[in-house]
Amino acid sequence: MPELPEVESLKLKLKPRLIGKRLVRVTLKRKDLRVPMPQNLQKNLGGERVINVRRRSKYLLMDFSNQHSLILHLGMSGRLFFTSKQRSLDTHDHVLLDFEGGLHLRLRDPRRFGVLLLTSTAKIGEHKLLHHLGPEPLEKDFSANYLFKLCQKSRAPIKNFLMNAKHVVGVGNIYATEALFLSNIRPTRMACQIKKHESEKLCQAIKKVLGESIKSGGTTFRDYVDVDEKPGLHQLKLNAYAREGETCFRCQSFIKRIIQAGRSSFYCPECQT
DNA sequence: ACGTGTACCTGCACGC
DNA sequence: TGCGTGCAGGTACACG
């Protein structure tokens, strides 16, 4: 489900409510998501305080006072939200986190493509899931120059290229689609055919669409909700994603849908070349 | 070595 | 109503 803006929105809302709080109890309602969850969580984290809540790529990182960190990924259908401890359990409520002061956080993930792991805070960057990741798109090191140079080495379609976390993290199906629309580039173009000026436009478009989505609290299609189970608003601003057969806001042509690497892509056949 | 296809899993909307 | 099909904000891995 969530791409960078959705995870960033969760992080921003979790931070002020969790930092400094002790984790009282961790309850696992099953033993695995996409991979087995650590079975020693209560022993390792029970009684520890939350020092920080961070995001790297689409991973949410929770640092605790004993130098351990939780790594959480929401996959396609994961939700992380505060609720009442008394609320009855949904079939797919897999993890319950009770913090001091009665704060109760739940992880719900019907498809179980999510991940929950524990690692030492110091070694988090070396973790198998994180070590190979490319730059954060909203940071300075993700520049037009960086993008252009990397593009020149790849014969993959530009959309697939953008969704490859080795090149840049956090850009999933929605935002790759939208950034390409904003920069007038057809998603099927080979990355190595992108011109210098296009890479500048594309780099800007990626930063813009991600930044605006964060401001809108993310995009909600079906599963995503924030920590208070409220949807985001960015779906109201999409230009291409999920708009097959509707008219382009720029030129009134019909938006097309194609499949690339098994995922839907949407583009305007007139404005994107 | 890189790019694509497949697997993981459930739920929902659709057409017949 | 019921069933089959196709689709869904992700990612690691096996293959060619």
Q: Could you report the per-residue pLDDT of A31-77, keeping only the tens digit for each?
A: 999 999 999 999 999 999 999 999 999 999 999 999 999 999 999 99
Report whether pLDDT(A12) > 80. yes
Cβ of A49 near strand C (distance < 7 A): no
Q: How far is the CA of A260 from the C1' of B3 (A)?
A: 12
Cβ of A5 near strand C (distance < 7 A): no
- Nucleotides on chain C that have an atom closer than 7 A to a protein CB are 7-12
Can you give the pLDDT at residue A222? 87
Q: Residues with Cβ < 8 Å from A197, sequence gap 6 or more?
A: none
Specify the nucleotide whose C1' lies closest to residue A110 (CA).
Answer: B10
Cβ of A2 near strand C (distance < 7 A): yes
The sign of the dihedral angle between the CA atoms of A181, A184, A188, A194 is negative
Report whether pLDDT(A103) > 90. yes
Looking at residues A240-256, what average pLDDT do you find? 97
Looking at residues A104-114, what average pLDDT do you find? 97
Which residues in A8-149 belong to E strands, given as ranges? 23-28, 50-56, 59-64, 68-73, 79-82, 93-99, 104-108, 115-120
Rounded Cα gap, residues A128 and A144, in angstroms = 28
Can you give the pLDDT at residue A214? 97
Can you give the pLDDT at residue A1? 66
Provide the mean pLDDT of chain A: 97
Can you give the pLDDT at residue A87? 97
Cβ of A137 near strand C (distance < 7 A): no
Cβ of A219 near strand C (distance < 7 A): yes
Looking at residues A149-170, what average pLDDT do you find? 98
Q: Is the pTM of this model over 0.95?
A: yes
Q: How far is the CA of A13 from the C1' of C7 (A)?
A: 31
| Closest residue to C8 measured CA to C1′ | A76
Q: Are strands A79-82 and A104-108 parallel, antiparallel or unpaired?
A: antiparallel
Q: How far is the CA of A24 from the C1' of C10 (A)?
A: 31
Looking at residues A133-149, what average pLDDT do you find? 98
What is the per-residue pLDDT across A192-234, written as a single tens digit (0 to 9) for each? 999 999 999 999 999 999 999 999 999 998 889 999 999 999 9
